[in-house]
Amino acid sequence: GEDVEQSLFLSVREGDSSVINCTYTDSSSTYLYWYKQEPGAGLQLLTYIFSNMDMKQDQRLTVLLNKKDKHLSLRIADTQTGDSAIYFCAERDNYGQNFVFGPGTRLSVLP
């Protein structure tokens, strides 16, 4: 079945860049998403990328997609303490409504 993998933890210093990585197995994935979950809250969509793109930039966020290697990354420039959260990678194919979420990467931003 489909599988999405992420490293579970990442620590960075405030002001540095964070790079969160994700790998997926479903080659038919059409959309790939990054969600953010702050403590005690639900998930919120940060950004998404369509599978025919290899990069998307939105302010401090840069998403890179390597479709050949089925690798997705999220780069957060100038990481702030408010960026501390769990970041989930998710994929969806073009056929169904179902999302497959990764286990989430807990980002800790150190002062």
Partner 1 sequence: DAGVIQSPRHEVTEMGQEVTLRCKPISGHNSLFWYRQTMMRGLELLIYFNNNVPIDDSGMPEDRFSAKMPNASFSTLKIQPSEPRDSAVYFCASAEGGSYNEQFFGPGTRLTVL
Shortest approach of partner 1 to residue 37 CB, angstroms?
Answer: 8
The Cα 108–Cα 59 span in angstroms is: 20
Looking at the Cβ atoms of 27 and 50, the one nearer to partner 1 is: 50
Shortest approach of partner 1 to residue 84 CB, angstroms?
Answer: 17
The residues, ordered by sequence, that sit 6+ positions from 18 with a Cβ below 8 Å of its Cβ are 10, 12, 74, 75, 76, 79, 83, 107, 109
Looking at the Cβ atoms of 41 and 55, the one nearer to partner 1 is: 41
Shortest approach of partner 1 to residue 14 CB, angstroms?
Answer: 26
DSSP class of 84: -
Q: Under the rule (CB under 8 A), what is the footprint of partner 1?
A: 31, 33, 35, 41-45, 48, 50, 88, 92, 96-104
The Cα 110–Cα 64 span in angstroms is: 25
Looking at the Cβ atoms of 31 and 84, the one nearer to partner 1 is: 31
Looking at the Cβ atoms of 59 and 97, the one nearer to partner 1 is: 97
Contact 82, 38 (CB under 8 A): no
